Amino acid sequence: MATRTGSRAAPKKTVLVTGAAGSLAKRVIARLHGQYNVIAVDFRRKVETDAGIPSYLVELHKRGFEDIFASHKVDAVIHIGRIFAHEKTRQQRYNANVLGCKRLLDLCRKYKVGQVIIHSTYYVYGASAYNPALIDEDAPLKASEVTQDLVDSVELESLANIYLWKHPELNITILRPCNVLGPGVRNTMSILLSRSLVPVLLGFSPLMQFLHVDDMTDAMIAAFEQNKPGIYNVAPDDYVPYQEAVTQCGCRKLPVLSIPPSLPKLVASVLNWNAFFPPYLVNYFKYPVILDGRLFRETFSWRPRRNLNDIFTYYRKQKLSAS
Amino acid sequence: MLSLGSLDVKQRIAAKLVTADIEALVASIPKPVGSFGYDPWGYNEDTFKLALGAAKLLYDHYFRVTAHGLKNIPSEGRVLIVGNHSGQLPMDGLLVGVAAATNPHGPRLARAMIERFFPTVPWLGNFLNALGGVIGDPVNCSKMLDMDEAIIVYPEGIRGSGKLYRKRYQLQRFGNGFMHLAMNHHAPIVPVGIVGCEETMPAVINLAPIAKLLGLPYLPIVPSLLPLPARVYLNFGKPMHFSPAASEAEVTEQVETVKTELRRLMQLGLDERTSLY
């Protein structure tokens, strides 16, 4: 099936990376470049890339996407690109994330792509008071119970799961990372911790896990190079309460009344905190979603090399240099 | 300035509660934590020390606990500490926890299983987690036993803690879950007969309909809102080992063995007791 990398006779593999404008994908591309032929794809803009890396502006669920497969012999796809909830409407997000992923997987089958890595999120487990800690990969995905706004994340996963079992030749690996932070990262948590004043729910400080974007890059490269299909949580075995993380990142706390449960949601939507404290994620600032990352760590002999303090220092310094 | 003042008071109280003895005890508890002093369930060493300091005072001077058989709690490795539940408020869990944490034969962090509604209560949920409390989910228990933790289990649940005073020292129906955990994870069961907690909050009647309305497990009419200073006797029995059972009926039989041992241990406490308060 998937040819092993590093064998001298084999020609360079071609890897297509989606979401190329994002900081994680940029790092993944930089790491792959040279050893592999890389194709960069993004739906937001045509990404500036190094010489020798073709770059495309295309939406996955639109027709033009197939042309890339037709004109390049793609051996592997690393699917990172995703529309966050604060970027588009729910319908547009569903089209891009779920239908886009389905189209991607169908094209992978049609053009005999031998490996697919899908970047998912820990949000799929859902934040609930009844969550046990150290959630395994086979735990039910309850995010859609929490909010309609995460349905696309869960659907994308179920879709990838179906293809994982029905089409083993695709060698699908699904990664569910905890909060990824670091320079250039524009996800909700990173935007939040970059702010000087950060909302916290009074009386709630759920335990969280954080991963440096460089460590996540290592994880993605390990998953790609070792090719062991399956579903994996990607998380360190270190934990810190949200409010402690807020303090460590040099943010001031803005306490928000947490009871009744609808109140913080209302506050978040009235004040339009969609980019960094969206109403649909309020539960994740209330209840912990702690992953058991052992399976990935052991299967791929991967360990994060940066600790919590390294991660928080970046946000602290960022504020110092701004002031 | 006010916050500075309260910080100062906090520190002074902390200095009073966290004695050198408590520091030494907690330092010798075999319990790995992350870089900020937390474990995956939210246990936090600093909060635990504070609470242990306060609870030790209650243990010694308010409930005047007499504990026997502490050497039966293994100083390391997985274990389920199984007791009879009583007293409306979980004072029994607190006292067994203090007994384990201050055990001269090897202190342990014994984790209590808390009710599922606690995490939804602001501050209280995080606080109980910081003390080592965890919601009684089988996944949590499995993971903790795999990580060689000590867990306190009351298989009667709220049937035991919420029962009326006229049913004191009568074991209520036991769930079988703890036995499955013990069997599947090869964890010994250390039974503990608890005497005295029934008298800390004797309930005459349970206002079940109002409790239901308020979303509480029960709402008793009690003589005092604070637990009364009853003398408490803890009798820890020898570790019991169980091999996997072939059927649920067999599991229930093994549960009965534990209940019989608990009745014997409770009787020891009742015989030893000369005055209620």
Nearest CB to B139 within list A132, A288, A308: A132
Q: Which pLDDT score is estimated for A193?
A: 97
State which residues of chain A have pLDDT below 70.
1-9, 85-86
Average pLDDT score, chain A? 92
* Tokens 């449960």 -> residue: A261
CB contact under 8 A, B40 and A134: yes
Instruction: Indicate if the pLDDT at residue B3 is higher than 60.
Output: no
Domain boundaries, chain B: 2-272
Q: Which pLDDT score is estimated for B214?
A: 82
Options 1.20.120, 1.25.40, 3.40.1130, 1.10.287; CATH of B2-272? 3.40.1130
Q: Which residue of A has its CA nearest to B147?
A: A134
Q: How far is B66 from chain A (nearest CA, A)?
A: 35
Nearest CB to A239 within list B34, B122, B126: B34
CB contact under 8 A, B36 and A132: no
Q: Which pLDDT score is estimated for A2?
A: 46
- Chain B residue numbers with beta carbons less than 8 Å from the beta carbon of A290 are 40-41
Average pLDDT score, chain B? 92
Chain B residues bordering chain A (beta-carbon distance below 8 Å): 34-36, 38-42, 116-117, 119-126, 129, 134-135, 137, 139-140, 143
Give the residue-averaged pLDDT of B161-173.
Answer: 94
CB pairs under 8 A between A and B: 76
Give the residue-averaged pLDDT of B30-49.
Answer: 94
User: Which of A122, A125, A134, A310 is most worth mutating to test chain B (most B CB atoms within 10 A of its CB)?
Assistant: A134
Q: Which pLDDT score is estimated for B75?
A: 95
ipTM computed for the complex: 0.89
**Structural fold of domain A14-322:** Rossmann fold (3.40.50)
- Chain B residue numbers with beta carbons less than 8 Å from the beta carbon of A258 are 122
Q: Which pLDDT score is estimated for A63?
A: 85
- Chain A residue numbers with beta carbons less than 8 Å from the beta carbon of B126 are 203-205, 241
Q: Which pLDDT score is estimated for B176?
A: 94
Q: Which pLDDT score is estimated for B4?
A: 55
Q: Which residue of A has its CA nearest to B117?
A: A129
CB contact under 8 A, B42 and A240: no
- Chain B residue numbers with beta carbons less than 8 Å from the beta carbon of A238 are 34-36
Q: Which residue of A has its CA nearest to B38?
A: A239
- Return the closest-CA partner of residue A132 out of B239, B40, B122: B40
Q: Which residue of B has its CA nearest to A292?
A: B40
- Chain B residue numbers with beta carbons less than 8 Å from the beta carbon of A205 are 126
pTM summary value: 0.91
Domain boundaries, chain A: 14-322
Give the residue-averaged pLDDT of B130-136.
Answer: 93
Q: Which pLDDT score is estimated for B5?
A: 60
